[in-house]
Amino acid sequence: MQVCPTNAISINSELGTKVVDESLCVGCKVCTMACPYGTINYNTRSGKVTKCDLCGGDPKCAEACPTDAITYGVAQ
């Protein structure tokens, strides 16, 4: 967030996730270098970056996993 020159990354206050506003992203990739976890990736087709946004609170990966290896919930 701090490294983004266009303030394209913000926090979803409801879910606590960081989200990318593609209309503001200029594809400079600085955030991909800054993130120590490698969670932001450059999309060569769009020329923008993308990251998990928890599907708006309804993670499709958890729904699709055939072995229920992915669960979504608040850590206790």
Contact set with ligand SF4 (CB under 6 A): 3-4, 6, 8-9, 20, 25-31, 49, 52-55, 59-61
Residue 24's contacts (CB-CB under 8 Å, 6 or more residues apart) are 6, 7, 8
Phi, psi of 4 (to 5 degrees): -70, 120
Residue 66's contacts (CB-CB under 8 Å, 6 or more residues apart) are none
Q: How far is the CB of 76 from ligand SF4 (least distance, A)?
A: 20
Nearer to ligand SF4, 11 or 52 (CB): 52
Nearer to ligand SF4, 5 or 13 (CB): 5
